[in-house]
């Protein structure tokens, strides 16, 4: 039964003899809170010159002064436009379709603008591909208003003007024509048809120009494998919605693997429909977001993953492949192979191992299976970097062969593993120009810096995948004297055409094929019609044919690849570098929203860290401990890879980390051009040797303890285990919902009745008008956190900083709780023990049971204000600042709140947030609300809260009210789907659905009637308006 | 914050009008009104000598058809038209036929390549003149007659202050005062009479030998001592005084932050009275975003220029400036100067009739300042509920200087939401909810409060 499953938040809870856990059942804080420090300091009190009477005088005076000051209001000015643009109406938002393409994140998005200011990123639901904005893309609008942005071109550290820069570059371009030196463009991946055309024209004018594409986090192996097989440097596309059986081997495909944006398809397949859902097996070393969502997770070192991949191929192909694997893994692979062979075309195998052989084998497997989810005929172009070319460039630079280096969208001095070599070479280049929005290590080392446009100020286009185009249009005029790289190229070519005209011309000539440019620009995305039809009909046939061809043509290379994989050498400690959901490749390290975004797995914000398994931590002496103020501390480690040493890397003991491996995230440790508060973490790029995320490492303990800012660290669930409900697909399909979705019972008149039927309060009639409900499907939620940032942006949630987060004063209105769990029940453990058979079986079985913390299951649960119909917060407010509406929303009137915090204490869900400080206009909180530029992102429809008031999720009442008003004005009823919140809008996975349950035909009403529906803490009787859907796992029992 | 209170204004207005009414009597104004009419007929008879057309009819036609783009003595969108006929004949050698053709279909003439037609067309930024095929030759003659007449003398701006016009409003105030004054007089007379009667009676008493006893007051304790000795009385009066003080303190505190009557001095003296009152311009013509947005919007300057491109001077209302206007210095020159301020801000070059591009946004002082934590949406009230702007903003069409009419306090909002019925007719959105709710409450008409208009979160989020 699902409700008996044991959940835990820290390993300490699993030990029955742990005194701390016993203590915690009674006390919230493990150690005594040191109140004496500030209350009992007799000496300090005696020494002060302010006595009680003086204090009262001060209070009296300041109160009087404040009241007098309040009598005089300020004079406000209203300055209308001189000539108002036709489409701008003050107070009404405009939406523009555009595209983000910063070399790491590629997506079709909508930008909401108010009075000409972009304030929010939304998903472009009409786009056919890459239409989901992840957390980083959601936050990218704040980077536009970064007060440390470059405001004009620079020569070294001096300001210069564009004319000087243009003249120098042009002179160099002309001078190098005959000198035999090369001019190199070192850029991010653009995947842009117009930029490609522009660069080839540039090369035609200056024949010594070469173009090197550099991806900060490389997909070179996958690109090379695809190129070898299909003759095009691209990445295969996958549609996980079509997959019934997914095997991921070291591939974090729900995050950023091969460009990301696979999660919405994945989630659609994960919701049980007609008794079916996809099954997902993940073989990995780090506990990744993808592994956390898997039905079965197998921990293997990267070297073993390679062998496992080779063996899986062998088992599917009926051949024998050598190599050593642990017994359990071997059996698991047998099972995978058996399950795949039941429905070969429904299966798909993906891998993230940075090894051409591994990537080639995966392509081979998917071809062999004829996988429906695998689509090599419309490949993705959003990664094009070549590590070989980058290395060659560095060699050329050092040999003095490069006359000019023009860089855009890259920061090689920070992100190259061999940055020192690059720097040396850069000094030998005659003219170097780096285009960037921010001052960084590369601009500091370049002769010139081109202040670049933010993507929201730029024109552009992207071919996301074959035939799928997307347009980028500016949503605001350049804030500063900046220029996008393409415009600069045009200038240097003496071409007077603007880049807008250039893009338009490219589209009219090559892409639109007669379709309307304005329509394409309006939609933001365009699918070439020819490609659409051929894809739809020809893809499966292609795949089948391709499979046969591949079998015959590529036997030899696959065989050698398999041999290479099977003989992968193992090492004692393997380091797996990864990118965090919040930080990616570190481009937006200066973005406070992303810094404060807690990692979905570790729930740590403002840091990166070495994830270590418990066994290794014990071996190496690493510790994690909670201190009295509620913070988490961790030991420091020294990590060495091939003579390169990273010192003082903080350690997190991560359940689910494969023993013998450690993980470390990219994107942190930036110092140059990053505001002091955001110079956090360590830079992992120096360890990224040969552009491989898998490294052999030596890890030792260093002195000292690191202070983390972790948002979820209560050691226990305080006996509220039923907050998450889950079951297996088998039970879900065969048993009555009362069994797997157990409603807590209470005693009424000495009879056990379901808690939901008992009501202490008189209910309020909510059947008239709108009644908003939110549905959260724990099956569809991958924990990606896009909703968290969307909520941040929509509701002007302040950033509080690392120190405050550590004091549990984080302000996120919406949090995604992460729970670990092991076996279903302790009875299950006993049963398992009794049924073990054979020497090997019992050894493995006992090993598994020995420590459930080794490889736990993970569940994500987004929690925001539950908008209880019987809200405990409302009854305790002494000033009636929080009250209920007939539409189901729990209102919070900030201007009425006096800050007693009773409501937060009485809230069973802990979703209320208190403003301990004034976070705006306060230089103590130097994030974005204290400068004019950063304030431009503030949503004018939501109050910016002041100090001393409670705040919480409003269920985006500003959005629901707007929908109602629009309907009233147009004299029509509201259609289903119109009501949205920031989080439901941001959720591209369909996990969060919002709507009006009084509209019987609405999606949310249907979801409420679903058997999987339950409320949080039903036994409390709060009757929330947010409900959840029981998580169903497709475990092997199914 | 500078406050100019409403009541002060009213008092001043009353005072002045009283003064003025007392000074002048009605017959004077009748004479005054007769004068311009006479002047007009005079000019008309002069004009008829020179041309075949009728200048009076011509003036009417001119105002209907031409005045939007032409003035007599001034370049506007098109050239100045005073004496256009003779000017063309003298300078260009073009006769009336050319003018007939041009006025009836100027684009055709430009297309046909007529030299002077193209010259004019290019001189005025290639703004094609509307074709007037409906005007007969006779009409055109009339118009030309009007243009040939010597331009009328500028209206007298420093006219002698006259009473009468503002008659009714001031008059009723005066009559009240008169009645009151009369009453005071009557009472005064009564008091005097009583004294007289009293003294007469006393004299009669003396005469008849009656002795009136004088009261003995020496031994009495003074009243304040008696009061201080009576502790109960002291207690009661202290409580009374405290209550009174509390009442006034509360009243004073409640008006903190309430800026009713706030009428700041604006960078351009914009008169709502002239625009919305005298000229009856619909509020939402300028405040157009009130229909669709939460903001009513201060019109951008290009909206002003829709009219002020041709209205370059203030000619005053037909009756001439009122004495109170004059007392405030609101002469025609004053208003014209304000129009020039607009031209400067919007960058309008009057002589060349084009925009210079040098703009200077106007910093209006905001009058209605709702706190940031209160959400108010104009379109909800204006478009959905159909509430008149005046309901909250008061008689704007009478406001020479705009001021805050309503207190804009929460109590004021709530009160209106309690009293006002929601306009549901013809709005499909309300159909279902109105039917169900009115059944529940047993009423025909639902107030905004019954529809949830009092919930905190509807305005505070």
DSSP per-residue letters across B93-161: ---HHHHHHHHH-HHHHHHHT-HHHHHHHHHTTT-PPPP-TT--HHHHHHHHHHHHSPPPPPPPSSPPP
**Rounded to an integer, what distance in angstroms lies between the CA atom of residue A292 and that of residue A784?**
11
Last residue of a domain, one of B363, B381, B403: B363
**Position B316 pLDDT exceeds 80:** no
Give domain status of residue B381, yes or no.
no
Block residue for tokens 């994830």: A611
Q: Do A892 and B364 touch (CB under 8 A)?
A: no
Q: Do B301 and A965 touch (CB under 8 A)?
A: no
**Rounded to an integer, what distance in angstroms lies between the CA atom of residue A365 and that of residue A574?**
26
State residue B15's pLDDT score: 52
- CB count, 10 Å around CB of A877? 21
Give the nearest partner residue to A768 out of B427, B437, B460, using CB atoms: B437
State residue A324's pLDDT score: 82
State residue A521's pLDDT score: 93
ipTM, 2 dp: 0.82
Query: How many residues belong to chain B?
Result: 461
Model confidence band, residue A1020 (pLDDT cutoffs 50, 70, 90):
confident
- The Cα-based distances of A670 to A293, A612, A704, B173 in angstroms read 31, 23, 22, 78
Give domain status of residue B221, yes or no.
no
Contacts (Cβ under 8 Å, ≥6 apart) of A500: A459
**Rounded to an integer, what distance in angstroms lies between the CA atom of residue A160 and that of residue A917?**
41
Residue of B nearest to A766 (CA): B437
CB-CB contact of A254 with A290 (8 Å): yes
For the ranges A358-372, A926-940, B67-81, which has the lowest average pLDDT? B67-81
Write out chain B residues lying below 8 Å of A71, CB-based. 256-257
For the ranges A95-99, A140-144, A186-190, A734-738, which has the lowest average pLDDT? A734-738
Model confidence band, residue B311 (pLDDT cutoffs 50, 70, 90):
confident
Task: Give the mean pLDDT of A238-263.
Answer: 91
Task: Give the mean pLDDT of A392-418.
Answer: 92
Give the nearest partner residue to B461 out of A77, A78, A942, using CB atoms: A942
Give the nearest partner residue to B300 out of A72, A84, A973, using CB atoms: A84
Q: Do A89 and B289 touch (CB under 8 A)?
A: yes
Strand order in the sheet with A182-187: A158-159, A154-155, A448-451, A431-436, A402-408, A182-187, A209-213
Tokens of residue B178, six digits: 């008169």
CB-CB contact of B389 with B282 (8 Å): no
Give the nearest partner residue to A894 out of B300, B373, B427, using CB atoms: B373
State residue B19's pLDDT score: 52
**Position B54 pLDDT exceeds 90:** no
**Rounded to an integer, what distance in angstroms lies between the CA atom of residue A338 and that of residue B115?**
93
Provide, rounded to the nearest whole percent, the portion of chain B with pLDDT above 90. 32
**Rounded to an integer, what distance in angstroms lies between the CA atom of residue A1030 and that of residue A1015?**
10
Angle at B225 between CA B224 and CA B228, to 5 degrees: 85
Dihedral sign for Cα atoms in the order B292, B294, B300, B305: positive
Domain containing B110: what range?
41-148
Give domain status of residue B163, yes or no.
no
The CATH number given to whatever domain includes residue B104 is 1.10.760.10
**Position A194 pLDDT exceeds 60:** yes
Tokens of residue A149, six digits: 């942005």
Rounded to a whole number of angstroms, the distance between the first and last alpha carbons of chain A is 15
**Rounded to an integer, what distance in angstroms lies between the CA atom of residue A449 and that of residue A289?**
37
Task: Give the mean pLDDT of A543-569.
Answer: 63
> pLDDT tens for residues A885-898?
889 999 999 999 99
Burial of B242 (0-12, 13-18, 19+ CB in 10 A): exposed
Task: Give the mean pLDDT of A944-971.
Answer: 93
Task: Give the mean pLDDT of B275-297.
Answer: 91
How many helices, marked H, and strands, marked E, lie in chain A?
35, 44
> pLDDT tens for residues A974-995?
998 999 999 999 999 999 999 9
Q: Do B301 and A71 touch (CB under 8 A)?
A: no
- CB count, 10 Å around CB of A148? 15
Q: How many domains does chain B have?
A: 2
**Rounded to an integer, what distance in angstroms lies between the CA atom of residue A217 and that of residue A691?**
8
Last residue of a domain, one of B318, B339, B363: B363
CB-CB contact of A672 with A584 (8 Å): no
> pLDDT tens for residues A475-533?
999 999 999 999 999 999 999 999 999 999 999 998 988 889 999 999 999 998 764 44
CB-CB contact of A824 with A4 (8 Å): yes
Give the torsion through C-alpha atoms of A110, A115, A118, A122, to 10 deg: -30
State residue A578's pLDDT score: 94
Long-range contacts of A418-422 (CB under 8 A, 24+ apart): A418/A391, A418/A394, A419/A685, A419/A686, A421/A394, A422/A394, A422/A397
Q: Do B461 and A943 touch (CB under 8 A)?
A: yes
Block residue for tokens 């810094």: A595
Q: Do B297 and A91 touch (CB under 8 A)?
A: yes
Look at phi and psi of residue A477 and say left if phi exceeds 0, alpha if psi is from -120 to 50, else beta.
beta
Helix pair A485-492, A193-205: axis angle to 10 deg: 30
Task: Give the mean pLDDT of A234-242.
Answer: 92
Task: Output A833 or A44, whichever has higher pLDDT.
Answer: A44
Domains, chain A, ranges and CATH? 154-218+385-527 (3.40.50.740), 220-380 (3.40.228.10), 574-710 (2.40.40.20), 717-845+858-1033 (3.30.70.20)
State residue B120's pLDDT score: 81
Last residue of a domain, one of B148, B175, B203: B148
- The DSSP string of A443-467 is HHHSSEEEEPPPGGG--EEEEEETT
**Position B188 pLDDT exceeds 90:** yes
**Position A749 pLDDT exceeds 90:** no
**Position A419 pLDDT exceeds 50:** yes
Angle at B96 between CA B95 and CA B102, to 5 degrees: 100
Look at phi and psi of residue A182 and say left if phi exceeds 0, alpha if psi is from -120 to 50, else beta.
beta
Angle at A163 between CA A157 and CA A165, to 5 degrees: 45
Tokens of residue B54, six digits: 């009728």
Model confidence band, residue B160 (pLDDT cutoffs 50, 70, 90):
very low
- CB count, 10 Å around CB of B181? 10
Q: Do A77 and B363 touch (CB under 8 A)?
A: yes
Half-sphere exposure of residue A454, counting CA atoms within 13 Å on the CB side? 25
**Position B33 pLDDT exceeds 70:** no
Rounded to a whole number of angstroms, the distance between the first and last alpha carbons of chain B is 27
User: How confident is the prediction for chain A on average, in pLDDT?
Assistant: 87
B252 has a chain A CB within 8 A of its CB: no
Give the nearest partner residue to B461 out of A79, A81, A957, using CB atoms: A957
Burial of A495 (0-12, 13-18, 19+ CB in 10 A): middle
**Position B53 pLDDT exceeds 70:** yes
B460 has a chain A CB within 8 A of its CB: yes
Model confidence band, residue A543 (pLDDT cutoffs 50, 70, 90):
very low
Write out chain A residues lying below 8 Å of B361, CB-based. 79-82
State residue B45's pLDDT score: 44
Dihedral sign for Cα atoms in the order B81, B85, B91, B96: positive
Model confidence band, residue A554 (pLDDT cutoffs 50, 70, 90):
very low
> pLDDT tens for residues A44-82?
767 777 778 888 888 888 888 877 776 667 788 999 999
CB-CB contact of B291 with B284 (8 Å): yes
Tokens of residue A370, six digits: 């004829």
Q: Residue A531's closest CA among A460, A465, A461?
A: A465
Under 8 Å CB pairs connecting chains A and B tally to: 158
B420 has a chain A CB within 8 A of its CB: no
Interface mutation target, options B2, B259, B449, B457, chain A, most CBs of A under 10 Å:
B457
Give domain status of residue B57, yes or no.
yes
User: How confident is the prediction for chain B on average, in pLDDT?
Assistant: 80
**Position A1035 pLDDT exceeds 60:** yes
Long-range contacts of A228-234 (CB under 8 A, 24+ apart): A228/A356, A228/A360, A228/A557, A229/A360, A229/A363, A229/A376, A229/A550, A229/A554, A230/A376, A230/A379, A232/A379, A233/A384, A233/A386, A234/A379, A234/A380, A234/A381, A234/A384, A234/A466
Give domain status of residue B234, yes or no.
no
**Position A965 pLDDT exceeds 90:** yes
CA–CA min distance B366, chain A (Å): 5
State residue A434's pLDDT score: 94
Give domain status of residue B451, yes or no.
no
State residue A1013's pLDDT score: 92
Quote the DSSP letter at residue A476: S
**Rounded to an integer, what distance in angstroms lies between the CA atom of residue A986 and that of residue A125?**
10
Q: Do B295 and A90 touch (CB under 8 A)?
A: yes
Model confidence band, residue A833 (pLDDT cutoffs 50, 70, 90):
low
Contacts (Cβ under 8 Å, ≥6 apart) of A565: A306, A307, A309, A310, A323, A355, A357, A358, A361
Q: Residue A644's closest CA among A661, A664, A660?
A: A664
Provide, rounded to the nearest whole percent, the portion of chain B with pLDDT above 70. 81
For the ranges A315-329, A544-558, A870-884, B210-224, which has the lowest average pLDDT? A544-558
3-state SS string over A481-535? CCCCHHHHHHHHCCCCCCHHHHHHHHHHHHHCCCCCHHHHHHHCEEECHHHHHHH
Task: Give the mean pLDDT of A716-722.
Answer: 62
Give domain status of residue B272, yes or no.
no
Model confidence band, residue B257 (pLDDT cutoffs 50, 70, 90):
confident
For the ranges A903-907, B153-157, B324-328, B343-347, which has the lowest average pLDDT? B153-157
Tokens of residue B162, six digits: 């006259």
Model confidence band, residue A185 (pLDDT cutoffs 50, 70, 90):
very high
The H or E element that residue A699 is part of is strand A698-710
State residue A830's pLDDT score: 52
Task: Give the mean pLDDT of A83-112.
Answer: 92
Contacts (Cβ under 8 Å, ≥6 apart) of A884: A764, A869, A871, A874, A890, A891
> pLDDT tens for residues A195-226?
999 999 999 999 999 999 999 999 999 999 99
CA–CA min distance A94, chain B (Å): 12
The H or E element that residue A109 is part of is strand A106-114
State residue A71's pLDDT score: 64
Give domain status of residue B370, yes or no.
no
**Position B3 pLDDT exceeds 50:** no
Q: Do A885 and B458 touch (CB under 8 A)?
A: yes
CB-CB contact of B362 with B345 (8 Å): yes
**Rounded to an integer, what distance in angstroms lies between the CA atom of residue A677 and that of residue B77?**
60
């Amino acid at each position: 039964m699902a409700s008996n499953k044991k959940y835990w938040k820290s390993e300490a809870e699993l030990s029955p003899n742990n005194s701390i856990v016993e203590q915690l059942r009674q006390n919230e804080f493990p150690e005594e809170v040191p109140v004496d420090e500030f209350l009992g300091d007799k000496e300090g009190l005696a020494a002060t010159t302010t006595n009680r009477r003086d204090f009262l005088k001060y209070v009296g005076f300041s109160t009087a002064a404040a009241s007098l000051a309040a009598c005089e209001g300020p004079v406000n000015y209203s300055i209308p436009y001189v000539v108002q643009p036709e489409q701008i109406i003050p107070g009404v938002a405009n939406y523009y379709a555009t595209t983000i393409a910063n070399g790491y994140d590629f997506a079709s998005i909508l930008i909401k603008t108010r009075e000409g200011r972009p304030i929010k990123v939304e998903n472009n639901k009409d786009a056919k591909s890459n239409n989901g904005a992840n957390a980083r893309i959601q936050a990218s609008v704040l980077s536009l208003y970064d007060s440390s942005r470059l405001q004009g071109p620079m020569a070294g550290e001096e300001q210069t003007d564009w004319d000087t820069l243009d003249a120098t570059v042009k002179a160099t371009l002309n001078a190098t024509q005959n000198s035999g030196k090369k001019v190199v463009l070192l850029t991010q991946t653009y995947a842009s048809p117009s930029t490609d055309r522009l660069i080839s024209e540039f090369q035609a004018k200056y024949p010594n120009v070469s173009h090197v594409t550099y991806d900060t986090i490389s997909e070179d192996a996958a690109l090379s494998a695809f190129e070898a097989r299909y003759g095009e440097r691209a990445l295969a596309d996958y549609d996980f919605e079509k997959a019934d059986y997914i095997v991921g081997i070291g591939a974090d495909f729900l995050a950023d693997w091969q460009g990301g944006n696979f999660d919405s398809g994945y989630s659609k397949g994960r919701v049980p429909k007609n008794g079916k859902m996809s099954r997902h097996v993940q073989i990995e070393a780090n506990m990744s977001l993808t592994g956390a969502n898997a039905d079965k997770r197998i921990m293997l070192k990267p070297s073993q993953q390679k062998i496992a991949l080779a063996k899986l191929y062998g088992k599917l192909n009926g051949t024998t492949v050598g190599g050593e694997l642990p017994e359990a893994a071997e059996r698991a692979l047998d099972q995978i192979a058996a399950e795949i062979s039941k429905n070969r075309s429904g299966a798909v195998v993906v891998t993230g191992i940075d090894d051409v052989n591994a990537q080639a084998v995966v392509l081979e497997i998917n071809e062999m299976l004829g996988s429906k989810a695998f689509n090599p005929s419309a490949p993705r172009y959003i990664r094009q970097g070549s590590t070989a070319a980058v290395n060659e460039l560095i060699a050329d630079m050092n040999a003095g062969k490069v006359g000019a280096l023009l860089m855009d969208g890259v920061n090689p001095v920070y992100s190259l593993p061999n940055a020192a070599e690059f720097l040396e070479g850069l000094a030998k280049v005659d003219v170097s120009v780096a285009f960037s929005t921010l001052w960084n290590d590369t601009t500091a080392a370049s002769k010139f810096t081109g202040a670049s446009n933010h993507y929201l100020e730029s024109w552009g286009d992207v071919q996301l995948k074959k035939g799928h185009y997307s347009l980028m249009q500016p949503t605001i005029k350049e804030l500063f004297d900046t220029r996008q790289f393409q415009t600069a190229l045009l200038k240097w070519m003496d071409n007077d055409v603007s880049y807008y005209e250039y893009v338009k011309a490219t589209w009219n000539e090559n892409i639109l094929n007669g379709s309307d440019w304005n329509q394409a620009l309006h939609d933001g995305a365009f699918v070439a019609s020819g490609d659409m039809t051929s894809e739809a009909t020809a893809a499966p046939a292609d795949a089948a044919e391709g499979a046969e061809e591949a079998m015959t043509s590529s036997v030899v290379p696959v065989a050698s690849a398999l041999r290479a994989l099977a003989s992968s050498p193992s090492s004692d400690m393997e380091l797996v570098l990864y990118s965090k959901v919040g930080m990616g490749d570190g481009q937006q390290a200066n973005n406070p929203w992303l810094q404060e975004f807690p990692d979905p797995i570790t729930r740590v914000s403002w840091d990166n860290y070495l994830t270590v398994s418990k066994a290794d931590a014990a071996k190496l002496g690493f510790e994690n401990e909670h201190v009295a103020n509620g913070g988490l501390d961790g030991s420091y480690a020294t990590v060495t890879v091939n003579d390169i040493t990273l010192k003082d890397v903080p350690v997190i003991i991560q359940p689910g980390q494969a023993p013998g491996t450690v993980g470390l995230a990219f994107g942190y440790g930036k110092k140059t051009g990053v505001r002091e508060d955001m110079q956090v973490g360590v830079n992992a790029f120096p360890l990224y040797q040969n552009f491989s995320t898998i490294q052999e490492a030596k890890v030792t303990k260093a002195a000292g303890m690191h202070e983390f800012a972790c948002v979820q660290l209560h050691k226990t669930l305080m006996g509220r285990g039923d907050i998450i409900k889950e079951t297996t697909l088998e039970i879900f399909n065969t048993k009555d919902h009362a069994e797997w979705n157990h409603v807590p019972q209470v005693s009424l008149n000495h009879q056990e009745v379901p808690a939901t039927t008992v009501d202490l309060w008189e209910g309020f009639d909510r059947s008239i008008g709108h009644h908003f409900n939110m549905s959260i499907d724990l099956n569809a939620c991958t924990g990606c956190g896009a909703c968290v940032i969307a909520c941040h942006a929509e509701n002007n949630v302040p950033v509080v900083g690392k120190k405050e987060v550590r004091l549990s004063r984080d302000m996120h209105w919406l949090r995604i709780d992460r729970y670990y769990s092991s076996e279903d029940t302790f009875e299950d453990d006993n049963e398992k023990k009794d049924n073990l058979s054979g020497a090997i079986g019992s050894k493995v079985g006992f090993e598994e049971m020995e420590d459930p913390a080794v490889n736990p299951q993970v569940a994500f649960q987004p929690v925001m204000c539950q908008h209880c119909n019987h809200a405990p917060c409302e009854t305790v407010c002494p000033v009636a600042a929080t009250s209920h509406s007939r539409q189901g929303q729990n209102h919070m009137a900030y201007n009425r709140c006096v800050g007693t915090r009773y409501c937060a204490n009485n809230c069973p869900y802990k979703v209320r947030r208190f403003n301990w400080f004034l976070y705006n206009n306060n230089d103590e909180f130097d994030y974005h609300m204290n400068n004019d530029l950063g304030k431009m992102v503030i949503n004018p429809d939501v109050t910016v809260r002041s100090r001393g008031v409670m705040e919480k999720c409003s269920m985006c009442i500003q959005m629901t009210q707007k929908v109602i008003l629009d309907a009233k004005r147009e004299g029509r009823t509201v259609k289903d789907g119109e009501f949205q919140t920031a989080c439901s809008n941001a959720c591209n996975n369909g996990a969060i659905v919002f709507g009006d349950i009084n509209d019987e035909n609405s999606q949310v009403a249907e979801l409420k009637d679903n058997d999987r529906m339950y409320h949080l803490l039903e036994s409390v009787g709060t009757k929330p308006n947010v409900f959840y859907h029981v998580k169903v796992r497709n475990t092997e029992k199914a | 914050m500078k406050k100019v209170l409403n009541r002060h204004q009213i008092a001043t207005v009353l005072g002045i009008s009283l003064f003025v009414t007392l000074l002048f009597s009605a017959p004077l104004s009748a004479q005054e009104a007769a004068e311009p009419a006479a002047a007009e007929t005079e000019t008309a008879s002069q004009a008829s000598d020179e041309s075949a057309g009728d200048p009076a009819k011509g003036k009417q036609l001119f105002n209907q058809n031409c005045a939007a783009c032409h003035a007599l003595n001034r370049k506007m969108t098109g050239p100045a038209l005073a004496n256009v006929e003779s000017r063309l004949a003298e300078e260009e050698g073009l006769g009336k036929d050319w003018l007939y053709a041009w006025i009836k279909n100027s684009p055709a003439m430009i297309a046909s390549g007529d030299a002077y037609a193209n010259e004019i067309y290019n001189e005025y930024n290639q703004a094609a003149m509307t074709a007037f095929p409906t005007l007969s030759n006779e009409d055109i003659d009339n118009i030309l007659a009007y243009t040939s007449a010597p331009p009328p003398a500028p209206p007298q701006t420093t006219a002698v202050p006259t009473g009468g016009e503002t008659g009714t409003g001031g008059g009723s105030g005066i009559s009240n005062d008169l009645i009151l004054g009369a009453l005071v007089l009557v009472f005064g007379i009564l008091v005097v009479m009583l004294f007289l009667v009293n003294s007469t009676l006393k004299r009669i008493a003396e005469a008849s030998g009656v002795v009136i006893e004088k009261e003995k007051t020496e031994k009495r304790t003074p009243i304040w001592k008696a009061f201080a000795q009576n502790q109960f009385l002291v207690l009661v009066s202290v409580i009374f005084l405290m209550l009174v003080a509390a009442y006034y303190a509360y009243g004073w505190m409640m008006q903190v932050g309430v800026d009713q009557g706030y009428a700041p001095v604006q960078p351009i003296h914009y008169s709502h009275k002239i625009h919305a009152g005298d000229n009856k311009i619909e509020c939402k013509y300028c405040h157009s975003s009130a229909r669709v947005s939460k903001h009513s919007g201060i019109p951008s300057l290009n909206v002003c220029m829709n009219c002020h491109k041709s209205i370059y001077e203030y000619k005053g209302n037909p009756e001439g400036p009122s004495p109170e206007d004059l007392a405030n210095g609101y002469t025609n020159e004053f208003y014209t100067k304000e129009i020039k301020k607009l031209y400067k801000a919007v960058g309008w070059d009057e002589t060349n009739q084009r925009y210079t591009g040098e703009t200077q946004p106007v910093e209006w002082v905001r009058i209605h300042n709702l706190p940031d934590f209160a959400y108010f949406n104009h379109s909800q009230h204006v478009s959905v509920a159909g509430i008149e702007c005046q309901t909250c903003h008061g008689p704007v069409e009478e406001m020479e200087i705009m001021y805050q009419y309503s207190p804009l306090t929460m109590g004021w909002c709530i009160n209106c939401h309690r009293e006002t019925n929601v306009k549901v007719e013809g709005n499909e959105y309300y159909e279902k909810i109105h039917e169900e709710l009115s059944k529940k409450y047993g009423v025909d008409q639902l107030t905004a409060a019954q529809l949830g208009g009092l919930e905190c979160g509807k305005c505070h989020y």
